């Protein structure tokens, strides 16, 4: 039922992509590029209801069911945050709720962006992930396949 590549493969692809960069500047420039490539969120989804709580920048994260899968769109007013949410969308988008709930986030560390995994309230990665997982739980409940 899942799309190709698998969630794990998508993570591995990102790890390989980032492995080409040896210094922080290239890594962050790539992250910013990923953010710029993130497809535009529909204006009707860029609303306060879709703001992720717990980020220092504003992050909108919307989810819609797409058959059995969860379809994510996102945006942010900060470029690095947008890059981070783009990473997550690339990995978690169009997956089943079960895949999303079962996935590990250790690839962020392997990418060399470990600082974004800290529970520091200022950086919103864990808040974004929580919201993605909440959507997954909600969808699995409505489809009865959780």
Partner 1 sequence: MNSTAVKPVFDIAEIRAQFPILKELVHGKPLVYFDNAATSQKPRRVIKAESSYYATINANVHRGVHTLSTKATEAQEAARETIRKHINAKHAHEVIFTSGTTASLNLAAFSLGQLLLKKGDEVLISGMEHHANIVPWQLACERHGAVLKVIPVTDSGELEIRRSDDQMIRQFTERTKIFAISHVSNTLGTINPIKGLIAEARKRGIITVVDGAQAIAHLNVDVQDLGCDLYAFSGHKAYGPTGTGVLYGREELLERMPPWQGGGEMIDVVTFEKTTFAKLPFKFEAGTPHIAGIIGLGEAIRWMEDYDKAAMAAHEHLLLEHATKELLTIDGLRIIGTAKEKVGVISFVIEGVHHYDLGTLLDQQGIAVRTGHHCTQPLMDRFGVSGTTRASFACFNTVEEIDSMIAATKKAVKMLR
37 binds partner 1 (CB under 8 A): no
The answer to whether the beta carbons of residues 111 and 24 sit under 8 Å apart is no
- Known catalytic residue at 1: no
80 binds partner 1 (CB under 8 A): yes
Phi, psi of 64 (to 5 degrees): -135, 145
Distance, in Å, from the CA atom of 125 to the CA atom of 144, rounded to the nearest integer, reads: 28
126 binds partner 1 (CB under 8 A): no
Distance, in Å, from the CA atom of 129 to the CA atom of 110, rounded to the nearest integer, reads: 17
CB of 83 or CB of 97, closer to partner 1: 83
Point out which span in 4-12, 67-75, 77-85, 93-101 binds partner 1 (CB under 8 A). Answer: 77-85
4 binds partner 1 (CB under 8 A): no
Q: Is 119 exposed, middle or buried (0-12, 13-18, 19+ CB in 10 A)?
A: exposed
CB of 80 or CB of 117, closer to partner 1: 80
Residue ranges binding partner 1 (CB under 8 A)? 24-25, 28-29, 32, 56-58, 77-81, 115, 122-123
């Amino acid at each position: 039922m899942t799309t190709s590549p698998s969630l794990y493969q998508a993570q591995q692809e990102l790890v390989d992509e980032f492995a080409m960069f040896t210094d922080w500047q290239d890594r962050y420039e790539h992250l910013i590029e990923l953010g710029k490539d993130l497809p535009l969120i529909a204006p009707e989804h860029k609303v306060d209801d879709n703001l992720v709580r717990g980020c220092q920048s504003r992050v909108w994260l919307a989810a819609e069911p797409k058959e059995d899968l969860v379809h994510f769109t996102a945006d942010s007013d900060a470029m690095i945050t947008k890059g981070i949410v783009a990473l997550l969308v690339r990995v978690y988008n169009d997956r089943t709720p079960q895949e999303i709930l079962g996935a590990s986030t250790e690839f962020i560390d392997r990418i060399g962006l470990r600082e974004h995994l800290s529970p520091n309230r200022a950086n919103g990665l864990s808040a974004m992930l929580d919201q993605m997982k909440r959507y997954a739980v909600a969808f699995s409940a409505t489809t009865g396949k959780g």
